[in-house]
């Protein structure tokens, strides 16, 4: 009999992981979810989550660091999109790793240690693979070391959603980990690392790639997590795995799928308040190329330069990566020419939801409009999770 599709969702936001999984199968059962926005009196994202999934005792609006991890219900899949932070580890006496404050990876690690779910699916910004600049790969290696010490193997892939048919050029790393006593591990351990990356692994079967041969292999040898933090330096590529004490990584090229364009998701008869009005010249300046003389804190003079951004954004392409500042007057905000009126305007909140793959008006739950954009800038592309959910359906069906 297959194992239950039980889920624990950390850093849940407005529920992108959960929505994506439930679109893959109604059997996915989220038994516990946590969402907490630090420094916010009104917890709009959590309220939105509860408006869709219910206001229950297992939907928790508390700082995750204050949660007793042993009290979290048993689950077979842990999911979450968490911030990219500095994962350096200092020896801090008896507290050890747990003494590092404010870095949310350690909260994930604590859940893994206490609950030991069979599978894990995490999302982060792709710079995680290269951070910090002075010690390339250290932060990601700290994570891999934690997984390894807890008895997990790991696959990872940087996915640009638009390259697999979605409406946004959003590039994020997804990390899939599985316990070394699962049926999935027993199958994977007998395959070559090259075969896992190219054909048989979690990401290869979900998001096909062009065949690649030049896989880089590195023995993952370290004394402890502190050793990794102090000494590890390695160039991780956009795809790879860690299994049997060995890291394999390679730059992969996706088998491109035609993306959804902005034109396909725009609303009609948009309210006049979304149009640019009298600020056109300021927008032109923000979007244009510029060179600005600046002085550093040490008194050193330098020239800050940046290239132009398309103005307006082409509606015949997928959107650029949406940020939490979307709709504010800044360089990264999308500006489009409305296909009906031929006037320049911002995206509407519902268009932002469509770009991320959420149902229309998903965030129209009483939060301020500015925060609707903020939530979408923090979210993930729902359809990407749905595709992974379909693969997870098969993996879970193979577990006993």
Which residues are the active-site residues?
84
Question: The tokens of 263 are what?
Answer: 């034109």
Q: Tell me how long the chain is.
A: 400
Cβ proximity of 326 and 352 under 8 Å: yes
Long-range contacts of 205-209 (CB under 8 A, 24+ apart): 205/391, 206/387, 206/388, 206/390, 206/391, 207/157, 207/159, 207/164, 207/254, 207/387, 208/254, 208/255, 209/239, 209/252, 209/253, 209/254, 209/255
Cβ proximity of 203 and 157 under 8 Å: yes
Q: How many whole angstroms separate alpha carbon 62 and alpha carbon 221? A: 37
Residues 6+ positions from 394 with CB-CB distance below 8 Å: none
Rg (CA), the chain: 22
- Half-sphere exposure for 99 (CA within 13 Å, toward CB): 9
Q: How many whole angstroms separate alpha carbon 30 and alpha carbon 21? A: 10
- Half-sphere exposure for 344 (CA within 13 Å, toward CB): 17
**Paired strand residues for 164:** 257
- The sign one gets for the Cα dihedral 224, 225, 231, 235 is positive
**SS3 (DSSP) at 376:** helix
Residue 316: DSSP 8-state: T
Helix (H) or strand (E) holding 176, with range, is: strand 171-179
Cβ proximity of 206 and 391 under 8 Å: yes
CB burial class (10 A; 0-12, 13-18, 19+) of residue 368? exposed
- The sign one gets for the Cα dihedral 55, 3, 28, 163 is positive
């Amino acid at each position: 009999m297959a194992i239950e599709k039980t889920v624990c969702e950390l850093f849940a936001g407005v529920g992108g992981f959960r929505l994506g999984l439930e679109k893959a199968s109604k059997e996915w059962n989220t038994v516990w979810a946590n969402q907490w926005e630090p420094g916010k009196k009104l917890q709009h994202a959590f309220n939105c989550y509860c408006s869709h999934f219910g206001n229950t005792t297992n939907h928790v609006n508390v700082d995750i660091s204050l949660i007793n991890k042993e009290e979290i219900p048993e689950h077979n899949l842990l999911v979450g999109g968490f911030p990219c932070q500095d994962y350096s580890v200092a020896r801090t006496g008896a507290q050890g790793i747990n003494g590092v404050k404010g870095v949310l990876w350690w909260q994930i690690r604590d859940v893994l240690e206490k609950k030991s779910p069979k599978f894990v699916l995490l999302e982060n910004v792709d710079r995680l693979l290269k951070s910090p600049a002075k010690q390339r790969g250290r932060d990601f290696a700290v994570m891999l070391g934690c997984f390894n010490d807890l008895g997990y193997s790991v696959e990872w892939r940087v996915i640009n959603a638009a390259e697999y048919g979605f409406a946004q050029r959003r590039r994020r790393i997804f990390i899939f980990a599985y316990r070394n006593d699962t049926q999935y591990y027993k199958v994977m351990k007998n395959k070559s690392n090259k075969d896992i990356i190219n054909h048989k692994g979690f990401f290869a079967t979900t998001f096909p790639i062009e065949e690649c041969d030049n896989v880089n292999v590195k023995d993952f040898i370290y004394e402890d997590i502190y050793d990794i933090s102090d000494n590890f330096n390695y160039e991780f590529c956009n795809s790879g795995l860690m299994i049997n004490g060995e890291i394999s990584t390679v730059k992969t090229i996706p088998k491109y799928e035609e993306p959804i364009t902005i034109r396909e998701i725009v609303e009609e008869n948009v309210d006049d308040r979304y149009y640019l009005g009298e600020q056109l010249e300021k927008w032109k300046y923000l979007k244009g190329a510029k060179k600005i003389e600046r002085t550093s804190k040490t008194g050193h003079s330098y020239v800050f330069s940046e290239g132009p951004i398309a103005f307006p954004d082409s509606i015949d392409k997928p959107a650029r990566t949406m940020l939490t500042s979307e709709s504010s007057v800044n360089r990264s905000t999308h500006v489009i020419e409305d296909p009906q009126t031929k006037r320049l305007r911002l995206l509407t909140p519902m268009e932002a939801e469509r770009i991320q793959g959420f149902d229309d008006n998903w965030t129209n739950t009483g939060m301020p409009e500015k925060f609707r954009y903020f939530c979408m800038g923090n979210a993930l592309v729902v359809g990407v999770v749905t595709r992974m959910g379909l693969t997870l359906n098969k993996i879970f069906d193979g577990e006993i």
